[in-house]
Amino acid sequence: MAAPPSSSSSSAANIMLAVYEKKPTSVDLYRPLRNYVVYNYSEREAQSLDDDLQTLKSMRADLERSPAASAPDSLSSRRDLLQRYYRALSAVESRFPISPDKDHVNSLTFVWHDAFKNKLKASQQNVHLEKAAVLFNLGAVYSQIGLTFDRAGGSIEGRKQASHAFIAAAGAFAFLRDNESTKAAMGGSATVDLSVECAGMLERLMLAQAQDELQIQEAIEKEMKMKFHINPLILVSVQSSVFRRCSLRLIMVGIYYEEAFAALSVAPLKEHFDKNWFSHVQLKAAFFYAEACYRCSLELHEKEDIAEEIARLKSGVNALSEVKKSSSKGAAQQLLDAINKLEGNLNRNLERAMKENDRVYLMRVPPASSLPPLPAFSLVKSMPMAEILDASKEKMFTSLVPDSSAKALSRYTEMVDEIIRTQAEKLQQGSELARVRLKEMDLPDSILALEGNFTLPTTLKEDVEAVQICDGPAGLEAELQQLRDLRRVNQELLVQTEELLQKEATEDAQFRSQFGTRWTRPQSSTLTKNLQDRLNRFAANLKQAADSDTRIERSVRDHSALMSILDRRPIESALPTLARPIMSLDANEDAIVGSLKQSLRHLETLGAQRAGLEDMLKEMKRKDDILPKLMASTGSYEDLFRKEIMKYDHICEEIAQNIEAQEQLLLQIQAQNDEFAAIFNLEDYKASREKSYKQIEAAIAKYREIKENVNEGLKFYVTLQDAITNIKQQCSDFVMTRSIQCRDMIEDVQRQMANFGFQDKNAASAYNYPSGGPPHHQIQRSSSQPQVNPGNMAQPPRPQTSYYNQHPEQPTMPGGYTHHPSPYGTTPQQQPPPPYAAAPGGGPPYTALPQPQQQPPVSHEYGQPAYPGWRGPYYNAPAQQPATHPRPPYTIPSPSPYPPPHQSGYYKQ
């Protein structure tokens, strides 16, 4: 039987190495840094940073004092101080350039002594030596903390805490090697303890001690417990498994020690460390290799692999024998005792195995060089210190932002913007591709049509709603009635005006017949010729407008069937429906429709995911503030940029996966839709639906055309009504003036006839005004009385377009819906003189007409007789000014414009 497991490693476990701190010399950080702020920023900024500068000065002063004792609490405080000071130094490095340069902080010199040879020291005018020394001391403090825990007496918790401390020490030395050792070496003066080689060696040493007997002792204890508590029938197999796990861990410890010893054996560390370090590390490496061979031999013995067992035991014995010859001097006696005990166990088991092989197995023992390397398994790795020493969250000196950091931030922002823009374009293109492909396949409209939920295209539906808001085709009849009413009112006004003039002309003819040559005033037909011509033109326009109204009414009747579709509410009831096939062979229509609908829902889910991804991108950019990291960064900005940009990689990958999934899904939907279209005869349905769309579009176009013509007619009639009302007022004023003149002339003629002889002598002087002018009293009356001359009155603007200016004989195109010249309009060459004057320069066709003022009361001066050439107050009146007058007999509010007014109309020229 094999010998019981050795507990020699238990005694060797307490033999550990710790590193002492480097010693600094005093330095004042406050004054040089404050002077730099005052010179490059302002005194006010220096005052605002005074607290931070004082805190930095205080931390440096605490660092210069050695810890009071090696108690865990004191070492923990020291560890926290070193971590805070390192983060503060990172903030200082990014804001205060420390170097011999005259524009930098050039009065600071850091001096540190070597930790292993205190007489050696290094001095540099940069922050790299300071940061490297702080990291070294942090690793040293962690190693000292590891030795403070109780690792004897089977204390599992003490071993775990010690192991954690050594792992942290390894992390600190690894961080020193990777981030600061090279920079400190470039300063021109650096000690060996800060070199890359020393930091790497110390990392391996700390890892070896972390996985030393701290882990192995726990495995041994479990093994011993199992020996006494596990059923003997299965103890052998359990022991074999435990032995193998122990050997894997032991060989890894040995490898760590071997790597540390290899670094100590070459320059620059070979001549720098004390011999005791070499002896300890070499003995530890050999011890754990031999321990691993011993554990492996126990497993081989259980498997009855005697040949390899003998070879492993010989290899372990040889390793211990050689290391005792070369490294026994200066080594701890406790470690030598553990080695001797292990060597005895190896020799005892080797002797037993050789006897069994000679008597029973007779196997050939392979040479040690032919054995495969023992497999290794590590339980520990260096603690990552980047997060612990990250200065991006450091609050010190946050108000100082150098130009270099600002420019770097701008460059990083551009990189992020480019990513956001590129990915957003991909998302938008994906959504647009899905929309176009679905529209090509007429989805989901065809599915909705099958379920009775179809609808018009958005633009067409808006046009239909606009028509229905205006009461649709049914509302045209009310507007046509308005046209008729306005035409009637205008006709009545025109007749009333003509009757006024006709009555005055009849009275004038009667007096002229009665008095003969004594009735010397001008005839009415001569004075009212201009008014009569305008009334005639208005009458002609009314006749033409009536013809246009007739054509509009005929157009409404002719196309009422076409436009009736617009009265359907809802309009979708006028569309064809998609029906199921009358006969089905396999009755799989529902399955086809169901799978297509499921695919469409999946496509919609992908679209929602894209919207969420886009929002996520924007949110990531909003929260992506790397300025603190830029300020704390001491390496290349490009390295930091690459690391920070990587956080967008996962969302970019999700976007790519979404687009790819949509492509595959669209291909699947295309195949499903083809099958759906074949079963439900989708092509015929589409053709019928497009036909209905065109019918609705044609009805809307015709409605708009008629509506615009009606609106134009309404506006024309309202404008013409104002013009006729205006000329009626002028005619009324003329008739009233002529009536006064008539009474005055009658009195004069009667006086002449009563005194015929005397009047005959003076007749010429009384009525021969052309040669001598009117009497003096007549001149005075003319100068004081406003005068009106129908021939010289300011004429209101007349319409320049519309039916109402068209020559009666002008032909019009048949039909009301083709694009033809306006039935109410005419060309300037064919148009008769307009009923009222147009605004100069060709203004709008129906401009506002100036309204005449009411004439003041006529005085008795109108009683003077008229004579050839005489001009009474009416004929010489100045141009009348616009004034308000009573509302016309028929008014109508301006019709609401129908959008869009682009169709040609009857009333438009």
pLDDT at 2: 43
Compute CA distances 534 → 240, 539, 731, whole Å: 129, 9, 11
Question: What digits encode the pLDDT tens for the residues 357-375?
Answer: 888 888 888 988 888 887 7
In this prediction, residues 453-474 reach a mean pLDDT of: 84
Tell me if residue 302 falls in helix, strand or coil: helix
The pLDDT of residue 442 is 82
**How sure is the predictor about 235, in pLDDT bands with cuts at 50, 70 and 90?**
very low
Query: In this prediction, what percent of the chain has a pLDDT beyond 70?
Result: 74
**Rounded-to-integer distance, Cα 644 and Cα 639, Å:** 9
Tokens of 439: 């529209």
- Write down the pLDDT at residue 351: 93
CA distance 281 to 269: 13
What pLDDT is recorded for position 813? 34
What pLDDT score does 765 carry? 40
> Is pLDDT of 780 > 60?
no
pLDDT given at position 854: 41
Q: 156 and 61 in contact (C-beta within 8 Å)? A: no
Cα dihedral: 873, 879, 882, 888 (round 10): 60
Tokens of 205: 């040493």
Nearest Cα to 347, choosing from 320, 308, 374?
Answer: 320
Over residues 617-624, the mean pLDDT reads 89
Name the residue type at position 631.
M
CA distance 394 to 874: 100
122: β partners? 112
Per-residue model confidence (pLDDT) at position 848: 36
Which of 45-54, 438-447, 559-568, 876-885 reaches the highest mean pLDDT?
45-54
Q: 396-410, 467-481, 573-587, 658-672 — which is least confidently predicted?
A: 573-587
Which segment, 237-241, 416-420, 785-789, is predicted with the most confidence on average?
Answer: 416-420
Q: Decide the pairing of beta strands 110-113 and 121-124.
A: antiparallel
Q: What pLDDT sits at residue 95?
A: 86
CA-CA distance, 433 to 430, in Å (whole number)?
A: 5
Given pLDDT bands bounded at 50, 70 and 90, which one contains residue 216? Answer: low
CB 120 within 8 A of CB 111: no
pLDDT tier, 335 (very low <50, low <70, confident <90, very high otherwise): confident
Q: Picking from 162-176, 319-333, 347-361, 725-739, which range would have the lowest pLDDT averaged per residue?
A: 319-333
pLDDT at 129 over 90: yes
Q: Supply the pLDDT for residue 549.
A: 93
Is residue 608's pLDDT more than 50?
Answer: yes
**Which tens digits make up the pLDDT trace of 434-451?**
999 998 888 888 887 777
Phi, psi of 617 (to 5 degrees): -60, -45
740 phi, psi to nearest 5 deg: -65, -45
Angle at 124 between CA 123 and CA 128, to 5 degrees: 120
Model confidence at 240, in pLDDT bands (50, 70, 90)? low
3-state secondary structure of 108: coil
| pLDDT at position 592 | 83
Contact 56, 30 (CB under 8 A): yes
Phi and psi, residue 110, nearest 5°: -100, 135
Please provide the size of the chain in residues: 909
3-state DSSP assignment of residue 110: strand
Split at pLDDT 50, 70, 90, the class of 219 is: low
The residue ranking higher by pLDDT, 504 or 252, is: 504
pLDDT tens-digit map of 692-702: 889 899 999 99
Q: For the chain, give the mean pLDDT.
A: 78
Question: What confidence category does residue 587 fall into, taking pLDDT thresholds of 50, 70 and 90?
Answer: low
DSSP 571: G
Please give the radius of gyration of the chain, using alpha carbons only, rounded to the nearest integer. 58
Whole-number pLDDT of residue 204: 95
Which of 229-233, 450-454, 657-661 comes out lowest in average pLDDT? 229-233
Task: Check pLDDT > 60 for residue 817.
Answer: no
Give the pLDDT of residue 222: 56
Contact status, residue 498 vs residue 535, Cβ threshold 8 Å: yes
- pLDDT-based confidence at 377, cuts 50/70/90? low
What is the mean pLDDT of the segment spanning 125-154? 89
Least confident of 54-58, 175-179, 205-209, 461-465: 461-465
**Max mean pLDDT range (62-71, 296-305, 568-577):** 296-305
